[in-house]
């Protein structure tokens, strides 16, 4: 995931990269076998968000935030895969805005508090 000044910036960079590498991601997202791209994407996004919280607050997220992040990351991967498989019709900014709108309230509050949302 791209780093930016805000979560939105990072999401836009990620989606722009996926668009640039559309052939790889279109093929990679087709399989659900062991060690698939969707599973890898989950661990990368989850790790990124946990790391970002730690970087901004000085500590790892608590159990509730970690569980919310798990659910949020799974949903965001589903929507990313759907976006890719449907031909990436929406611009990166629109998809990023949808991802932010779907963010659980507790995570959004934390990100606003540390100045990245």
**Average pLDDT over every residue of 30-40:** 88
In a domain, 1, yes or no: no
Residue 71: domain span:
7-113
Higher pLDDT, 84 or 53: 84
Q: What pLDDT, on a 0 to 100 scale, did the predictor assign at position 112?
A: 93
User: Is 115's pLDDT higher than 70?
Assistant: yes
In a domain, 33, yes or no: yes
User: Is 98's pLDDT higher than 90?
Assistant: yes
**Average pLDDT over every residue of 86-99:** 96
d(CA 109, CA 10): 18
Tracing tokens 């990072």 back to the chain, one arrives at: 10
CATH number at 31 reads 1.10.357.10
In a domain, 87, yes or no: yes
**Average pLDDT over every residue of 72-94:** 96
Mean pLDDT in the chain? 91
Scored b (16 or more CB within 10 A) or e, 9-31 reads ebbbbbbeebeeeeeebeebbee
Is 53:68 a contact under the CB 8 Å cutoff? Answer: no
The domain tally of the chain equals 1
Helices (H) and strands (E) in the chain, counts: 6, 0
């Amino acid at each position: 995931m791209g780093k930016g000044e805000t979560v939105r910036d990072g999401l836009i960079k990620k989606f722009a990269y996926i668009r640039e590498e559309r052939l790889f991601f279109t093929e990679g997202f087709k399989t659900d076998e062991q060690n698939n791209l969707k599973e890898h994407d989950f661990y990368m996004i989850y790790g990124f968000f946990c790391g970002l919280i730690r970087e901004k607050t000085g500590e790892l997220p608590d159990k509730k935030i970690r569980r919310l992040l798990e659910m949020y990351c799974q949903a965001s991967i589903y929507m990313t895969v759907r976006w890719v498989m449907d031909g990436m019709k929406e611009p990166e900014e629109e998809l990023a805005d949808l991802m932010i709108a779907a963010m659980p309230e507790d995570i959004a509050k934390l990100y606003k508090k540390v100045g990245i949302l």
